[in-house]
Amino acid sequence: LEYHAAMSSDITIAANQWSKNILVGEFGVPSYRVAVFQYGLDAAGFQAKFNQGSSVFRPYGKKVIICPARLVYVKGIHVLLSALTILKQMRSDWVCWIVGDGSLRRQLEEQSIRASLQQDVFFLGEQSNVPGLLTQADIFVHTCIQDNQPFSLMEAQMAGLPSVVSTAGGLPEMVTHGYTGLLVPVGDALSTAQQLNALLGNDEYRKFLGQNAKAFAINHWSMDLMIERLLAIYNSAISQKSS
């Protein structure tokens, strides 16, 4: 189906090189029929929600780790909870907000209880203003098993947050390790805990990564840039058909 879908169009747009490699390597789509450029983000709309802030506030004396995600297996929340169980043995100056809902919520809440994380991990459910919540956060985390180009990471970078994310799918193309965030192997709870510990313990490093992430986001996730590239693709296709 992927092959026939791609071949039925003049060109297929992939959000990253990872997606293109799958289309070309696994489904046999010719490389020249796949263009790569990122999705865009409505920066003005994001900023308006960000400026609204949130009615949920950080606990006194705690840093906030935030994970906006659907509570399904592929998002790897079970890995995050395992990492936080390890992190709790290292330090106690944090809480984690898990924002979202899904079929695994009860199972994940039970995992949290078994690990005695009730005072550390909070399941906030669906929230209408995630950008507002980001104003209260210090670190974004995404321990997904697989993902393409998560919108949640784009927003976190726009908010100037450093990130700890897995190497799944297109994520390594979104985060430069040691410059805009930190990468950890898929499913590696210990590495995730260690990287979170490093950020929690070093304010300057955390701010350095966050500032770089925001500068990257402003340029890279530009909606205008996405539209410009999309129009160029259409204009090129029209020119080829008319010639």
> CA-based angle 163:164:169, to the nearest 5?
100
CA distance readout (Å), 195 to 119, 123, 181, 202: 21, 22, 10, 11
| Closest to 64 in 3D by CA, of 235, 230, 227, 206 | 206
> Which pLDDT belongs to residue 177?
98
> Which pLDDT belongs to residue 9?
81
User: Phi/psi class of residue 147: alpha, beta or left (left: φ > 0; alpha: ψ in -120 to 50)?
Assistant: beta
Phi, psi of 143 (to 5 degrees): -100, 45
> Which pLDDT belongs to residue 240?
72
> Which pLDDT belongs to residue 205?
98
- Whole-prediction pTM value? 0.92
> Which residue in the block uniquely carries the two structure tokens 């043995």?
89
Distance separating alpha carbons of residues 159 and 172, to the nearest angstrom: 19
Phi, psi of 154 (to 5 degrees): -60, -45
- Print pLDDT tens along the chain (243 aa): 777 777 878 888 899 999 999 999 999 999 998 989 888 999 999 999 999 999 898 999 999 999 999 999 999 999 999 999 999 999 999 999 999 999 999 999 999 999 999 999 999 999 999 999 999 999 999 999 999 999 999 999 999 999 999 999 999 999 999 999 999 999 999 999 999 999 999 999 999 999 999 999 998 998 988 898 889 888 877 777 776
